[in-house]
Structure 1
Amino acid sequence: MSTCMAQDSLANLLKRYNTKHIPYITVQELAMPKTNYKILDAREPDEYLVSHLKNAVFVGYKDFKIETILNEIPNKNDTIVVYCSLGIRSETISKKLQDKGYTAVYNLYGGIFEWKNNDFPVYNQQNKKTDSIHAFSKMWGKWLNKGVKVYDLN
């Protein structure tokens, strides 16, 4: 029952902050074997160093540069999944990709928090599995129900 309520609350949160111009992909869909997605992490460097999805390419948010993506993913028909903590910042970055002509861009519903809440693995800066998740802030960290919340590296 609480999972249902949490999902409704997450849905309401994303509805409040997102425009839904970018389609969502669920963590379950992304975790399916043999998926060939380019995964982009649209968080800040400290967040990525603490935890990220396997094979995710760090692209940042505040210092995001579209040129990096144009060089990294020249085929604008490649399937791209962008994530952040919950799916709010990643929608902004996804829209920038879409505006540059990328045709198959998806926003990870619930971001890395939802990924970890569903017991999928995350990796640290040494690319080893970790239970630590950068929770961004106390306000946003409340959405992370599993793992060890990290707020600052210092």
Structure 2
Amino acid sequence: MQKIILCAGVILMANTSFSQRTMEKLIDKLSNKDVPLASVTEVSVNPSYIRLDAREREEYEVSHLPDAKYIGYTNFDIDQFTSLFPDKEATYLVYCSLGIRSGKIGERLIELGYSDVKNMSGGIFKWMEEDLPVVDADDRETKRVHAYNKFWGLLLTKGEKVYSLESEEKDER
């Protein structure tokens, strides 16, 4: 994992514009190849996908995709998930900030027998870059998005970046 983070850092440092192309390269390097990717465009026009947010609660409450259900990452509970989402044939779309954490959760869902799981390429960062709507904890449209930390936040060029004290502390470690 440290090699992956180092690779991500090299990619970020080598490109000072942090363009969409940089984001796409980073996602390609870091995404889980066992979970099919769905583009932001595909997700935005397909209301049948069950949208699952695999970020932390604080990130979800700042903003999330409309109709997304919080499932978390660190505290992802398999038993709770299977009781809330028993249909293993439905199409589940998992996303996070960029697609790294959601790829890991997607892999777990596939291992549990869910047959149609997709990972949204570029996550909520790419969603924001495409000027698509996000909503806050009260389901009101917002321009705010949790940028995880200042390192990863470099890839988010639209919207209002929100950081937490905890993520700032992680940066210092």
Q: Say whether the fold is shared (TM-score over 0.5).
A: yes
Say if 2:84 is the partner of 1:72: yes
Structure 1: which 5+ residue stretches go unaligned? none
Deviations for 1:100-141, whole angstroms, at most 9, x for unmatched residues?
Answer: 000000000000000011000000011100000000001111
Q: Which has the higher helix share?
A: 2
Contact 2:32–2:104 (8 Å) recurs in 1: no
Asked if 1:20 corresponds to 2:36, the answer is: no
Query: In the alignment, which residue of structure 2 is the partner of 1:59?
Result: 71
- 1:153: how far off? 7.1
Task: State the one-letter code of the partner of 1:10.
Answer: M
Q: What is the aligned residue count? A: 149
Alignment equivalent of 2:127, drawn from 105, 115, 127: 115
Give TM-score, length-normalised by structure 2: 0.82
CA distance in 2, matches of 1:141, 1:134: 8
The CA distance in 2 between the partners of 1:153 and 1:27, in whole Å, is: 29
1:35-114 alignment to 2 at 5 Å? Answer: 35-114=47-126
In the alignment, structure 2 segments of 5+ residues that lack a partner are 1-17, 167-173
State the TM-score, normalized to the length of structure 1: 0.92
Give 1:143 deviation, angstroms.
1.0
User: Which structure has more RCO (C-alpha within 8 Å, separation ≥ 6)?
Assistant: 1
After TM superposition, which residue ranges in structure 1, 4 or more long, deviate above 4 angstroms?
Answer: none
Q: Percent same amino acid among aligned pairs? A: 42
Query: Which of 1 and 2 has greater Rg?
Result: 2
Q: What is the Cα-based RMSD across aligned positions, in Å?
A: 1.5
